Amino acid sequence: MTEALHVVTGAFGYSGRWIAHRLLEKGVRVRTLTNAIGRDDPFDGRVEVHPIDFENHEALVESLRGAEVLYNTYWVRYNHHSRNFDHGIAVENTRKLFAAAAEAGVERIIHFSVAHPDKAPDWTYFRGKVAVEKILHESSHSYAILRPTVLFGGGRNVLINNIAWMLRKFPVFGVFGMGNYPIQPVHVKDVARVAVEQGELRENVTID
């Protein structure tokens, strides 16, 4: 029997790395689409590496050809207009990725969004997340949209560690407004587990 192929964008990054690890543990063949060609390989060659070029539709389609599931963790954290990428460009790049996935015959997309993206429409980061969710809703893809809060664990606790460092170093920690901002961090391996579980299903769902 031919090994199932799943594609993970950014498997050398944070959340994508743990999705790829979990897929490999399950015996799934894994391919990553990444801009980090040449970065240290945490998988010792077990993950196929393809460059991700949103401007080359044919190459994008071929890099997705044969895959059953696409796990999309692609996004940009900040607007960098001088480097020609921002949240608006990220939306269009994601649209191109989904179109290529459809042409390549990918059966299901597991897309990483963010918790309550519609609560901050004035922020381009969140507005872009809403736009990408809308693209999936209106597509013919089978999909699961995952909306995690703050990720931690897996050796890359960047945001959590930054907050902890400030709490240790400064006598005062500023919080805007009334401070009524409950948030439940989620371990990156738990998110990876849910993502892989959803990759085995076909129902369209949004999971907060």
Q: According to the model, what pLDDT value does residue 10 have?
A: 95
Who contacts 142 (Cβ-Cβ below 8 Å, separation ≥6)? 107, 108, 109, 202, 203, 204
Q: According to the model, what pLDDT value does residue 158 have?
A: 66
Q: Is 163 helix (H, G, I), strand (E, B) or coil?
A: helix
As a whole number of angstroms, the distance between CA 186 and CA 136 comes to 24
pLDDT in tens, the chain (208 residues): 468 999 999 999 999 999 999 999 999 999 999 998 877 899 999 999 999 999 999 999 999 999 999 999 999 877 776 566 799 999 999 999 999 999 999 999 999 999 989 888 888 999 999 999 999 999 999 999 999 988 888 876 666 777 778 888 988 887 777 777 777 889 999 999 999 999 999 999 999 9
5-207 is a CATH 3.40.50.720 domain:
yes
Q: According to the model, what pLDDT value does residue 1 have?
A: 47
141 Rama class: left (phi>0) / alpha (psi -120 to 50) / beta: beta
Q: According to the model, what pLDDT value does residue 87 have?
A: 93
Q: According to the model, what pLDDT value does residue 157 have?
A: 66
